[in-house]
Amino acid sequence: MVSLFGQHFTRMELFRRIGRLEQVAGIIPGSYDDGPERSVRYLDLRSGGGLEARVMVDRGFDIGELRFNGLPLSWRSANGFRAPGLHIAEEEKGAGLLRSMDGMMVTCGLDHVRGAAEGPASHFGPRRESAQYPLHGRISQTPARFLGQGETWEGDDCRFYCEGAVRQSMMYGETLELRRRIEMPLGGATLTIIDQIRNAGYRPTPHMQLYHLNFGFPLLDAGAALLLPPGREPRPDTHTAFLRQQGPFAEAVDEILEVNPLPGPNGRVSAALVNATLGSGLAVQVEYDASTLPALQIWRHFGPGMNVLAIEPATNRAGPRAELERGGQIRFLEPGEEIVYCLTLSVHAGAAALEQLSGRIGSP
């Protein structure tokens, strides 16, 4: 049954009360019409259970904003959601993403993550000796082809969905395609991202992926806590220090923590950002399949105007690309080969829900 506004309804009971589902929940398309965001398409998803998400169709089909009962959960940068035509990945010595990065989820890849680098390209044939890889790759600022949106009912349960496809290609280079489906249950507080990556070319092609899941104020503030799963190694002092968050301060610098998590019995890894003093207590949990995303990184910066913490599941542990290549740690997709990633973002509200979440993941 559907749970809405503290009541439970069958499908028939709900539609006796409304003329259109959009009265209580649904997906509304739109676009910006001014400033550097002009012409950028988006989809606004509303669950009816308090969760709202803005899907950026023209920015890699990523998630720009996430809200719960009106409270912003996502980080926003000074850049804004710039139109992809303004983005130059190679500027600033390959760090052009720093002029465009913004929002709740920034997908990094599809053939490179982390700092700008150069690597061999002989796998594409004799025309190219080397390849240039900008910071976090190119996919996040590439417009998607919108494939559709709608709702699916199974008995009295309903899920909204939207789908898009993003292609990264180059002559004498890679042809990789991301097909993304985002789902949100009616009346719920979860968002699921299902990504299918396919080598649509005819040469073996390197593939790397990282999900930059960025949280900001008011969820991230002094007193907030990071919940991390047990690791394969004992937690050092630096690890423990990451569990407690603070407010902005002038001397802040980039901080990065690598986690080597142990997956749960279901093969999945969970982490969460919790703020027990926000309302009656609020947390956002990130859950994903460890078999396809074995690495986990936390990045935070408490500088004024930044104030961001990112939970970052990834295909590879941190390290220079050349080092990963030498160690055979970069996966190659054969022509036609596919890989699927699945992540779920869940909002938990109230002291009892936060206590249960802490027990499942681990106490800060």
Q: How confident is the model at residue 154 (pLDDT cuts 50, 70, 90)?
A: very high
**Angle, CA of 308, 310 and 315, to the nearest 5°:** 155
What pLDDT sits at residue 56? 98
DSSP 219-262: TSSTT-EEE-PPBSSPPPHHHHHTTB-----TT---EEEEE-BP
Has residue 363 got a pLDDT over 60?
no
Has residue 347 got a pLDDT over 90?
yes
Average pLDDT score over the chain: 96
56 touches 143 (CB < 8 A): no
Has residue 4 got a pLDDT over 50?
yes
Can you give the residue ranges of every domain in the chain? 20-361
272 touches 353 (CB < 8 A): no
Q: How confident is the model at residue 238 (pLDDT cuts 50, 70, 90)?
A: low
What average pLDDT does range 30-38 have in this prediction? Answer: 98
- CATH no. for 20-361: 2.70.98.10
Burial of 95 (0-12, 13-18, 19+ CB in 10 A): middle
What pLDDT sits at residue 176? 98
What pLDDT sits at residue 239? 79
Q: Taking the model in full, what pTM does it have?
A: 0.96
What pLDDT sits at residue 364? 40
What average pLDDT does range 235-260 have in this prediction? Answer: 89
Q: Give per-residue pLDDT as tens, 308-317.
A: 999 999 999 9
What average pLDDT does range 328-344 have in this prediction? Answer: 98
